[in-house]
Chains A and B, each alone.
Chain A
């Protein structure tokens, strides 16, 4: 009797878990499928190399926005990755006092901070004094969003490194800073790389902070002190426009963005898998 009850409970709970999984998975595949079906029709090579055309004029592309997204991501990475890793290392390796506690606490808060506020903050801090929207301010805003993600994942993956490995290095007469650089960080490498990939995937999808910082640009732009286009802002502008050909372009841009993010995630997974095999 008891056994039968336990068995039924097991089946019911298992059923609920599977249902929950499907609810999550259905939405994921629904979104992916929708973006794919609506976007694939408008994908052609001109999208990647041409500039946007005014509504009503056929063809054109958004190569500048794709390039812009990459420039912004690289800028954000240059600032965000080293600071994020250093913050994570500080908290785990040197942090025993109050400062470390605050670093950890503020990182946590920052990671759930509304990104639009970060955008406004950078707007006041950089855009207003510079008197222009710029790629630089966009990159800085994105780097602030990246920072806590990287700091957290660095901290988590360093914590996984057993003390015995560190001690092995100390016992060989290796100073602490070299141990961190040559043993701790490489051993935690796959975790840190996964964190970096995740943060890049996240900032590539950010729109709100860019509206206040890098704004948009309909032409090719490489300069850091000028506004720059990006895929997300382009999607935002096109999708909310009254012109049908622009809305179609937005679907194509969405598909390209999803594809880039997906590739990044796959790279992260392959990398993690490779390291774990050792």
Chain B
């Protein structure tokens, strides 16, 4: 029987809310078949922070991100060991249902992946309709509007909600994807190189959206683009060959890296 304790909105004795969307990773290892892609990861990420994961191709940054919402394990042959805490819940506890975890930790993928057989409106509200949650029409309208506004695309699609996603540009689709992830009100949102397939203007808009979202939730973003990490994130994690080499405040990491490897990567000596 999967149990899941809803701890959102928990208050301490004085009525102040606790930092619950903090994420702590302990001794995390992950494999694809026999190949180990994550080696003993130990990091902790603060609530309502934007954390960027950077590193060369194949360093395991996407895998780490996909461990946060237990998406790594659905790949055939993939395996995970270790613990990740969201607040005080170990999401790898055997009693925790990964499906419920994914409702609290949303995700935006590298390429826009809207459901092509559903309208833009239905796509935004997909988290509810796919789970058969019956909610009144007015409330749905409110959720759709709020999410699209948060994702910074409301003005562009306001009158096109009944159209299919293929009518939108890639950048617009990606922002609708962000709205779709936001609609279910997650505490954390994972972004896997969300702008790598987009032009500079769309990228700029999405970065603005990300900065705006920080007020509401915790964001973890994987990026290939170091300038992007420097522009948007509060904290940066540098990974290399499946290990976390360095973690620290972004400004510090980019101006005064502690490790030689980090410096070499940031200054473009490799990667």
The residues of A with any CB-CB pair to B shorter than 8 Å are 96, 162, 164-165, 167-175, 178-179, 182-183, 186-187, 189, 278
Q: What 17 additional pairs, Cβ within 8 angstroms, besides A172-B184, A278-B116?
A: A162-B113, A164-B113, A165-B115, A167-B74, A168-B115, A168-B180, A169-B126, A171-B69, A171-B106, A172-B102, A172-B126, A172-B127, A173-B104, A174-B99, A174-B130, A187-B115, A189-B117
Given B71, B107, B111, B131, which contacts A174 in the complex, CB threshold below 8 Å? B131
User: Once the chains are docked, how many angstroms separate the CA of A165 from the CA of B115?
Assistant: 7
B116 touches A187 (CB 8 A): yes
B103 touches A167 (CB 8 A): no
8 Å CB contacts to A: which residues of B46-93? 69, 71, 74, 76
Q: Which residue of B lies closest to A175 (CB)?
A: B99
B18 at interface, CB cutoff 8 A: no
Given A178-B130, A182-B130, A96–B69 Cβ distance below 8 Å? no
B109 touches A164 (CB 8 A): yes
Which residues from chain A contact B177 at a C-beta distance below 8 Å? 168
17 A-B pairs whose Cβ atoms sit less than 8 Å apart in the complex:
A165-B113, A167-B71, A167-B113, A168-B114, A168-B180, A171-B106, A172-B184, A173-B103, A173-B127, A174-B130, A178-B130, A178-B132, A179-B130, A187-B115, A187-B116, A187-B117, A189-B117
Given B104, B109, B115, which contacts A183 in the complex, CB threshold below 8 Å? B115
Which residues from chain A contact B164 at a C-beta distance below 8 Å? 278
Q: Which residue of A lies closest to B180 (CB)?
A: A172
User: Once the chains are docked, how many angstroms separate the CA of A186 from the CA of B130?
Assistant: 12
Shortest beta-carbon contacts, A-B, top 9: A173-B103, A171-B107, A173-B102, A164-B113, A172-B127, A168-B113, A174-B130, A186-B117, A175-B99
B102 touches A171 (CB 8 A): yes
B27 at interface, CB cutoff 8 A: no
B76 touches A96 (CB 8 A): yes
Distance between B266 CB and nearest chain A CB, rounded to angstroms: 30
Distance between B45 CB and nearest chain A CB, rounded to angstroms: 18
User: Once the chains are docked, how many angstroms separate the CA of A96 from the CA of B131?
Assistant: 26
Given A178-B131, A187-B116, A170–B109 Cβ distance below 8 Å? no
Q: Which residue of B lies closest to A178 (CB)?
A: B130
User: Once the chains are docked, how many angstroms separate the CA of A15 from the CA of B21?
Assistant: 69
B166 at interface, CB cutoff 8 A: yes
User: Once the chains are docked, how many angstroms separate the CA of A169 from the CA of B69?
Assistant: 12
B100 at interface, CB cutoff 8 A: yes
Which residues from chain B contact A164 at a C-beta distance below 8 Å? 109, 111, 113
Q: Provide the B109-124 mask, 1 if CB < 8 A to any CB of A, else 0.
A: 1010111110000000
B153 at interface, CB cutoff 8 A: no
B25 at interface, CB cutoff 8 A: no
User: Once the chains are docked, how many angstroms separate the CA of A179 from the CA of B115?
Assistant: 11
User: Once the chains are docked, how many angstroms separate the CA of A135 from the CA of B166?
Assistant: 46
Which residues from chain A contact B69 at a C-beta distance below 8 Å? 171
Distance between A134 CB and nearest chain B CB, rounded to angstroms: 40
Q: Which residue of B lies closest to A179 (CB)?
A: B130
Which residues from chain A contact B111 at a C-beta distance below 8 Å? 164
B151 at interface, CB cutoff 8 A: no
Given B74, B114, B116, B132, which contacts A170 in the complex, CB threshold below 8 Å? B74
A170 touches B115 (CB 8 A): no
User: Once the chains are docked, how many angstroms separate the CA of A165 from the CA of B180?
Assistant: 13
B130 touches A183 (CB 8 A): yes
Q: Which residue of B lies closest to A164 (CB)?
A: B113
Of the candidates B99, B106, B109, B130, the one having the most CB atoms from chain A within 10 angstroms of its own CB is B130
